[in-house]
Amino acid sequence: MNLLQKNNRKRKVCILTLLTFLSIIIINLPIISIISNVNFSSNSNWEHFKQYLLLDAVNNTFSLVIFTLLLSGTIGVLLAVIVALYDFPLKSFFQWALFIPITIPPYIAAYVYAGMLSYTGIVQRLGRSWDMPLNYQWLDIMNIRGAVFIYSITLYPYIYGAVKSFLENHSGNLIDTARVLGYKPLKLFIRIILPLIRIPLIGGLMLVMMEVVSDYGVIKYFNIQTVSSTIFKSWFGMGETGVAIRLSFYVMLCIIGLQAIEEIMRGRKKYNLNSGSGKSITPIKLKGFKGYAVIVLIFLIIGLAFIIPVGQMIVWAILAFHKVNLPNLSQILFNTLLYGILATLLILILNIWIAHTRRWMRAKPSFIMSKMTQLGYSMPGAVIAVGTITVFVALDTFLNPFYQYFDPNTKKLLLSTSIAMLVFAFIVRYMAIGFNSVNSAFAKVGVLYNDAARTLGVGRTKAMLTIELPMLKNFLIAGSILTFIDILKELPLTLLLRPFNYNTLASRVYEYANDERIHEASVPALIIIFLSIMAIVLLVKINPKRKGGLMKR
């Protein structure tokens, strides 16, 4: 290779890396805009907010997060440990069924439970007609206690999934060792399993925390003042951008701080020394009473989290079906699918590009790239929304002369009133979900096939497109399905950033529920759940691990 060729190669790699970093910076523009627009000077609005609203908002958010983490963590870990360590009747069905509640967005569960437990709901009606001594105070769930219950039953699958998968893949010999050393179930759980699952548990808890902090549907319906609702209110209700940006900045700092603390506390420790090489767990057979007790427990969780709310929604949907504007609904379904799929595809393409480029980078820039790609997911929806609007308004202002050039009568805000802003926000928020799947897939193949193809005269990108992508097909589809499910259920970004008169299934559910038309809300809600279940069924069918991974295509 002569000097000129060497320089060309270097330049090519540099340009690829620069382009990748540039795209990551564009994705992070909303976050950058919040940081650059935050104003720390004391003004009357901030002082007023600090004096009258801040304490309640922070206290409520804190209570919601802590109690939800405790309850969903307990449910998720308990179920994951039972499924991973024990064998019981119908296990193969239940281990998947326990994921299904993830298809119900918390705001839908909140509307259904609030309706069911209200004065005219089925529970109180049955209680009255059967003269049951019900404590009606406990049936009022439109408070923090109720919100914790709703979040926990709908979000525990994040923890269940992460912990179960870790235990099944990384802990077989470790748990066998502890058993051989004489550790009985309780001691095994406290001394071995709990420390061992630290990373997936914290990962799952972080996801749950983000969902709780981001949520707008439940807290709005239950009328609970939180940090997220305050950002919404101050920006969109009072036009108080300074307070919203400053609050968003503090939320961002807290989340980044929490992640940093976790990294520091982990120190030199590692949690999966023999990743993938360890033997899978040997489940212990639960016989007789214990086996049935486990089935009852699992059935109770699935009943509360899925069967009861979906059953009630089906009844309500049948009652209200004639009232729902079906042609309008099909347009909404079309919108949801079109822009959901569009955002998912864009996320997939970007993630493939980033994961592909990262493979030839040094550890530090590669680490920074990975963290930056995932930054959006660790920010609450309201923060992303505020940042996205700021960026798009600035972009519209900048591009206005061009708009004027083509059409002198054009409106000032073009991009920021279009669907492009919402799709961009989806990309910012959900890049991380697809990235994890795509990146782990690329990490699994390494650079071996790419290098082999290049020795045969095929370029890096072409080798990736023609050789590696077909090999990674199932991983990429799996990552895309997960992304699509999240976008399908997404509410806060859609509510804040959608163009005038534009609706998705999620925003339609919100509108119906907000108008106290819960029965009508059941129709689009059931469509969301049905689509999510279909996506999960597809996910199970194409599960790369079930098909034997990369080599057995």
For 95-156, the DSSP string reads HHHTTGGGGS-HHHHHHHHHHHHSTTSHHHHHHHHTT----HHHH--SSHHHHHHHHHHHHH
285 binds another protein (CB under 8 A): yes
- Out of 99, 122, 124, 176, the only residue in the binding site for another protein (CB under 8 A) is 176
Residue count, binding to another protein (CB under 8 A): 29
Window of 34-42, 178-186, 488-496, 539-547 that interacts with another protein by CB under 8 A = 178-186
CA distance 336 to 358: 32
Here the tokens at position 104 are 């119900």
Continuous H helices in 267-325: 288-302, 308-320
192 binds another protein (CB under 8 A): yes
CA distance 220 to 114: 13
CA distance 553 to 547: 7
- Out of 58, 86, 123, 179, the only residue in the binding site for another protein (CB under 8 A) is 179
Residue 105's nearest CA partner among 423, 451, 486 is 486
> What residue has token string 């998705």?
504
CB of 174 to another protein, least distance (A): 5
- Out of 21, 96, 99, 183, the only residue in the binding site for another protein (CB under 8 A) is 183
Do residues 103 and 485 make contact, with C-beta atoms less than 8 angstroms apart? yes
CB of 97 to another protein, least distance (A): 23
List b or e across 323-333, with b for residues whose CB sees 16 or more CB atoms inside 10 angstroms: ebeeeebeebb
Window of 106-114, 262-270, 334-342, 513-521 that interacts with another protein by CB under 8 A = 262-270
- Out of 177, 325, 404, 543, the only residue in the binding site for another protein (CB under 8 A) is 177
Please say which residue, 127 or 283, places its beta carbon nearer to another protein: 283
CA distance 515 to 167: 45
Please say which residue, 188 or 231, places its beta carbon nearer to another protein: 188
Do residues 242 and 225 make contact, with C-beta atoms less than 8 angstroms apart? no
- Out of 5, 41, 42, 277, the only residue in the binding site for another protein (CB under 8 A) is 277
CA distance 553 to 441: 14
Residue 439's nearest CA partner among 548, 350, 356, 364 is 356
Q: Which of residues 513-552 bind another protein (CB under 8 A)?
A: none
As beta bridge partners, residue 86 has: 284
37 binds another protein (CB under 8 A): no
CB of 386 to another protein, least distance (A): 39
286 binds another protein (CB under 8 A): no
- Out of 1, 273, 363, 551, the only residue in the binding site for another protein (CB under 8 A) is 273
272 binds another protein (CB under 8 A): yes
CB of 274 to another protein, least distance (A): 5
- Out of 145, 198, 359, 454, the only residue in the binding site for another protein (CB under 8 A) is 198
CB of 205 to another protein, least distance (A): 17
CB of 92 to another protein, least distance (A): 14
Window of 104-112, 282-290, 315-323, 498-506 that interacts with another protein by CB under 8 A = 282-290
Angle between helices 473-489 and 419-445 (to 10 degrees): 150
- Out of 31, 153, 174, 324, the only residue in the binding site for another protein (CB under 8 A) is 174
- Out of 83, 178, 245, 369, the only residue in the binding site for another protein (CB under 8 A) is 178
Distances (CA, A) of 33 to 29, 181, 231, 377: 6, 55, 16, 16
196 binds another protein (CB under 8 A): yes
278 binds another protein (CB under 8 A): yes
Tell me the HSE value of 210 on the side-chain side, using a 13 A CA sphere: 28
Distances (CA, A) of 25 to 22, 29, 30, 426: 5, 6, 10, 16
Please say which residue, 267 or 327, places its beta carbon nearer to another protein: 267
Tell me the HSE value of 120 on the side-chain side, using a 13 A CA sphere: 4
CB of 285 to another protein, least distance (A): 7
- Out of 284, 399, 443, 540, the only residue in the binding site for another protein (CB under 8 A) is 284
Please say which residue, 274 or 404, places its beta carbon nearer to another protein: 274
Interface ranges with another protein (CB under 8 A)? 173-174, 176-184, 191-192, 195-196, 198, 268-274, 277-279, 282, 284-285
